Each structure stands twice: as C-alpha cells, then as structure tokens.
Amino acid sequence: MTPLPLADKRTLTSNWSGSVDFSAADVEHPGTESAVIHHIARATAHGHSLRPIGAGHSFSPLCETDGTLLTLDNHRGLVKVDRATGDATFRAGTRLMEIGPALARHGRAMINMGDVDAQSIAGAISTGTHGMGHQMQGLAATVTGLRIALASGDVVWADKDTNPRLFEAARLSLGVIGIILEVRMATAPAFRLESRDENLPVDDAVAGFLQSSTQADHQEIFWFPGSTRATLHTMHRREAGARRSRPNRVSSFVSRELLANGVWEIMCRAGTRSPRVAPALADVASRFFPGAAVTDDSHTVFTAPRRVRFHEAEYAIAAEAFPEAFGKVRARIHREFRDVLFPLEIRRAAADDVWMSTCYDRDTIYIAAHTYHRRDGYAFQQAVQEELMEFDPRPHWGKMHWLDADYFARVYPRFDDFRTVRAEVDPKGIFLNDHTRTVLDV
C-alpha cells in the first residue's frame, strides 16, 4: 500500500487546514478488525472517548478528543466487486484517490465525486461529502451496505434489509454510531468526463444557474468576491471509449500546479498581508481561473490538486431559494468582505433519503465560503451563515458552522430517529466528543 499522510502521533497534530488542533492522548492505527475491537474495549473499560478519523480533511472539530484517535489508514483496499450488481466493497480507510483506479481496473467508476480525493471512504460518507449535478446525490446515498464495529464489541452487517435502522443512521453517521470497517457502494460503468470552463458576468451565471445546471451532468459556479465575473464549470458524461483530450504535460503542470497552486499561494499571501490589494487580485484571479478543456477518465477529471490550504463553511439550501439567497450573501460581501480572495463555490445536488444528509428530501444548492488559512478568524463564514439563516440552511457536517441540536431538530426530519439509534448502540457515548455532544444534545 502507498504510504499516507497520517503516519503517527507526531504528525497528527492538526487537521488539514489548521483550524483544529488535536490533543488526543493516543493515536492508534489498527490494521485488523480484531485490533479495532480491542481499542473499543479499552475505551469502554477506561471510560474515555474514541473518535475515528479519516484523512483529517474536516474543517469542523468532529474528530477532536482528549481520548483516542483511531485511524484506519492501515485498513485499506478493495475487497470485491460484485459483477452482477456492480457494487464494490472497500475497507474503510481506503482513500478516494485509490478507489477510482481500483474500480477502473474492473470497468467501473464512482458515480460521482467532489473535487478533492484525499478523504477516506468512511470519512467521506460519515461527513456528507458530495459532488455536483442536478441528478446526482452525495456519496452516502450510494452506500448499499456497511460492516460496523459497535461499542458493544460486536461486528455487524447493515443494509436496507439487515439492521435497516442501523444502516440508515450509519451511512452518514458523524462517526458516532460505531467504527465502520467496510463500505459497500453502488458504482457506475466506467465513463469519461468532458470538462469546459466559461468566464462570464456573475449576474448572468447566477440568473441562469437553475436552468443551466439542469442541462449539464455536472455544473458549478466559482465567484471571487469583489469581481464582476464568474467561472461556470461544466462537465458532461461521455462513453468510456470517448476520445481523450488533455493538455500536454507542460501545459497541464503550468495550469494545475504552477498557476492554480504556486502562483495562487503567492497571491493569497499578498492579499492577506495587504487587504487593500485583494479586490484587484481577485479580479485578476477570476480571469485566469478557467481551466483548459479536458476529456478523460472520470476520476481524473472530477478532482484537482488543492495544495493551498483554506478554511471552509458550506450550506445547503432549497434550490429554488438560490437567487434570493445569493443576492443577500453578495450584498453582505460587498459591504464588509471585499478583501476575501478565495471564491465562493456554488453547486447543485439532487434530493436523497439519507437521514442526516444535507440533501434529505430537498433539491439542493450549496453555497461554500472559503478563506485562506492564514486569514485571522472566521467572520466571513459566520456572516454567510447569518445571511442564509432565513432559508433553513443545512451545514456540511465536516465543515465549519455555529449551530446546535435545537436547530438541527427543526431542519432534519429524521434527526430524532438518528439520535435514538445512536443512544441504542452507544449508550455510554464512547464515540462522542464535545462537538458531537453539542450537535446532538447528548
């Protein structure tokens, strides 16, 4: 197996963005189910918290604990692909970057992906990771079965027919139901993506998004605060045998690494040190942001290298509310945050039936607010949350938010069902931490 970033306690000091410092007494890397059960038994016996952690890409303090952090980076790999159904089973620590190539060898692909592939599959589904597309659901909605180690020490299987209530809670669990050991997920026949970017006035991009996003398989908007223009990023699904079209290696390196990461890092540092120049930098960035046209295997086109660190909050609202909601956010930015250099990212996703999904029973548009990781405080993300509150936003569980259980009970119809299952399978709360106690009112 390829070495991964989560190596030992010495390196596991914070999450990827630096927004959360870890203070765990122990960091454990079990490679077998029996080792996982041992650590659960030890946490139960000593009455301390045991929190699972994937790649550390969550911006919220979901994993922070003074007890034990348990990573499954030594429990990775493809278990099997069911040729009859197309379902694929992976060990929980398998990273998304490993899943695409593994499925491709079997003529399969992930149904949808976001633009980051560093996450573990268990961490991605447990926090509600999603991609984009008006007919596309989040990763948790593609899960068809789970193998889980419970607080009791029992290892159980859960799907729609076996332990169905446990399955509904565990496929997007915040890590509080148990330790996921294996994930079975639906896949698609291998396909390629044709990607095109268009630079256009932000007013046009926003006004047309509810319609244009239904005419593409995947579409999103990137808008730099302070700029009058936006990038409309559109992808269409093509047959697996479609002709590849990609810039040569030099052009790709210049675009994806030198400009999108190296030069972008320099611009972000400059804008942070001298906020007055940020609007001008944002205008320049908005003109150079569109990427080259590409057609290639899906898992290589969905994702892009993200080496410039940032903090992020993301909120899901009903799709029909988007034009009004964006107008309020844009006005607030114009008044107070013209020095924010990172773009707002706007994506669409389909309704699903996952209890704790931000898309539960609602056609959804996501508004994501990013800031460079060296920028002080989170006032920008808090302001975006404030402007969206009248639209009953559901925050991404792995990203920043400032909401509690009373609020979630109102906007998640199955919230109490989730809390009931959690209490049944972990009555002593060994999988909880301060953050999840607040979120769930435990």
CATH number for 174: 3.30.465.10
Compute the distance between CA of residue 232 and CA of residue 218 in angstroms, rounded to an integer.
Answer: 11
In a domain, 229, yes or no: yes
pLDDT at position 292, please?
85
What residues contact 315, with CB distance under 8 A and at least 6 apart?
366, 367, 368, 384, 385, 388, 393, 394, 395, 396, 401
Q: How far apart are CA 166 and CA 74, in angstroms?
A: 25
Q: Which residue in 99, 18, 34, 68 sits closest to 175, CA to CA?
A: 68
How much is the pLDDT for 249? 75
DSSP state of 290: P
315-361 per-position pLDDT tens digit? 999 999 999 999 999 999 999 999 999 999 999 999 999 999 999 99
Residue 438 lies in a domain: no
Which regions in the chain score pLDDT beneath 70?
1-11, 250, 253-254, 256
How far apart (Å, rounded) are the C-alpha atoms in residues 123 and 120? 5
**Residue 405 domain-assigned?**
no
Q: Per the structure block, which two tokens stand in for 384?
A: 């975006």
| Strand, coil or helix: 280 | helix
Q: Based on the domain organization, do 276 and 378 belong to the same domain? A: yes
What is the Cα 8 distance to its own chain's centre?
A: 24
Alpha-carbon distance of 384 to 326, in angstroms, equals 10
Q: What confidence score (pLDDT) does residue 261 get?
A: 81
Are 406 and 419 in contact by the 8 Å Cβ rule? The answer is no
CA distance 323 to 223: 14
Q: Which domain holds residue 386?
A: 191-395
Rg of the chain's alpha carbons, rounded to an integer?
Answer: 21
- Give yes or no: residues 172 and 242 share one domain: no
CA distance 242 to 192: 7
Q: What is the pLDDT of residue 288?
A: 79
pTM for the model stands at 0.95
Among 171, 189, 207, the domain-final residue is 189
| One domain, residues 180 and 214 | no
Say if 16 falls within a structural domain.
Answer: no
Verify that 158 and 257 share a domain, yes or no. no
Domain boundary among 167, 189, 211: 189
d(CA 255, CA 260): 6
Residue 43 counted as domain residue: no
Do residue 390 and residue 258 come from a single domain? yes
**Is position 1 within any domain?**
no
Interhelix angle for 202-212 vs 322-336, to 10°? 160
What was the pLDDT predicted at 95?
Answer: 97
Instruction: Return the closest-CA partner of residue 368 out of 354, 380, 355.
Output: 380
Which pLDDT value is given to residue 9? 45
State the total domains in the chain. 2
On whether the CB atoms of residues 325 and 317 are closer than 8 A, the answer is yes
Q: Would you say residue 330 lies in a domain?
A: yes
56: in domain: no
Do 145 and 112 fall into the same domain? yes
Q: Residue 11 has what pLDDT?
A: 58
The pLDDT score that the predictor gives to residue 377 is: 86
